[in-house]
A and B are shown apart, each in its own frame.
Chain A
Amino acid sequence: MQLITPILEDYRLKHRLRTVGGSYDGDKSKVIQQGFDQKVPSVGLPYYFKNDLSLDCDKVIITSVDILINTQVEKVDTQAGGNPTLDNLALDTLKRGYVVFQDDQQKIINLLPMYSLASAGNGFKPTNLWLDKQIWSNCYFIFDSITNVNSTKGMVFRITYFDKLIGV
């Protein structure tokens, strides 16, 4: 234990490691609900997130993205305060998709399988991230099969993040 402790401490300082107990980390949380009623994802075509300046790297560092599945959030509400009618995706459907985070030059920071981002499939531990270069509207998800992905479906992403301190 004494041998590896300095490495763990170094990893903590460099944001490669975080002590977890199955909890989310971050000052703020936002839920993004993406309905496929207007546009169904096509196989192999990127489905970009809507522009959200509050999630860009000049303002925040994103510390986790959790894809919530139908056993956690049954219905997807794409209109705030509206009537949620779309069904959320099941865990098994996520094995056919990836989420791609890109920076301001559209260079890929991370390409992560959707299943990796679903805490429900990973011991209910959210995936820890340290995204500090992302432009949210450059990020997207993509499917290699749209079996069980149609106009009656949607997805729910829970984002946790904290504000960057200006001038620090």
Chain B
Amino acid sequence: MDNLIIKRSQIIEAQITGTPTVGKRYFFTDIPQLARLNIIIYGIEAFTSTQLAVSPQSGNAVVSTSTGIALTLRDQNKLEFAYQIPYYTLIRANNSGLVVLFTPKTINLTDCFVQLTSTTGITANDVACFNLYYDFV
């Protein structure tokens, strides 16, 4: 069995602004350094308030539920290489401690978003919070 090695990491977040709405796209706050072409993303981990109470980026509360959120990631060519991954499956504790790996990708963070498939347990202005694992190439 293989597990990811963390070389470098960056916390990212998408805020559920306004009244939580099913299907609405909530885009990520920009982290300019992740758009550099010498960076490749190779792993991701999601958090709920069980693992992380407050986002270190914004100080906003992290979502308390994971079953009603889906993540879509786009690369520099706006290709949706990961479409509507269930948030629950990106939480390490739900995968016996294993971190989800990608093939090496460059991403355009501001094109990436989360969508709600259910608003149960989601509060306005909570954030969907992730740790992206990356490396220099």
Contact = CB atoms under 8 A, between A and B. Distances in A.
Interface of B is mostly: strand
Interface string A94-113: 01101000000000011111
Interface in A92-147: 95-96, 98, 109-113, 115-116, 119, 121-125, 127-130, 144-145
Given A96-B54, A112-B131, A145-B53, A20 B95 contact: no
B90 to A, nearest CB: 13
A129 B92 CA distance: 15
A7 B2 CA distance: 12
Contacts of B10: 111
A16 interface: yes
Given A14-B135, A125-B96, A130 B56 contact: no
Interface string B48-67: 01111110100100000000
B12 to A, nearest CB: 11
A28 interface: no
A8 interface: yes
A16 B5 contact: yes
Contacts, number: 97
Interface residue range, chain B = 20 to 34
Given A125-B97, A144-B53, A113 B131 contact: yes
Interface residues of A, number: 36
Contacts of A121: 51, 93
Interface string A1-32: 00010011001001111111110000000000
Given A124-B97, A125-B97, A130-B6, A11 B56 contact: no
B103 interface: yes
The 3 A-B residue pairs with the shortest CB-CB distance, nearest first, are A123-B97, A125-B97, A123-B96
23 contacts: A16-B7, A16-B43, A17-B2, A18-B2, A19-B1, A19-B3, A63-B5, A110-B6, A110-B8, A110-B9, A111-B11, A113-B51, A113-B131, A116-B45, A122-B92, A123-B96, A125-B98, A127-B6, A128-B3, A130-B5, A130-B7, A144-B59, A145-B53
